[in-house]
Amino acid sequence: MRVITSRRFVEFAEAYPDCKGQLELINKELKNALFENLNQVKDTYPNVSILKNNRVVLNVHGNKYRLILKFNFGAGIAFVRFIGTHAEYDKIDANSI
């Protein structure tokens, strides 16, 4: 899949280096994936929470951080919609960000 924009992984890892390795791994896995639907995402990330509109929430670094991805399966794109702390996540609407 094409990740829009994977630069956000790098920027977040610079601010929160404790999650750098996990974000690099997620970015690599996404780029190598050929997801066609949310079930395939769930197969790869069993603890993912599925939201509306082809969005998912992944817990990063033991649920210290949250990552929201929105998929366009037909185009093969994963959009990074949010990366933040759990407290920051609690302040947003994950279904519309």
pLDDT value of position 53: 93
Assign 19 a pLDDT band (cuts: 50, 70, 90): very high
pLDDT value of position 87: 94
Residues with Cβ < 8 Å from 30, sequence gap 6 or more?
Answer: 1, 3, 6, 69, 78
Left if phi > 0, otherwise alpha if psi is -120 to 50, otherwise beta: which for 87? alpha
Amino acid at residue number 8:
R
pLDDT value of position 55: 97
pLDDT value of position 37: 97
The model's pLDDT over 26-76, given as tens digits with 9 standing for 90+, comes to: 999 999 999 999 999 999 999 999 999 999 999 999 889 999 999 999 999
pLDDT value of position 70: 98
Domain ranges of the chain: 2-89
Q: Taking residues 71-94, report their average pLDDT.
A: 96
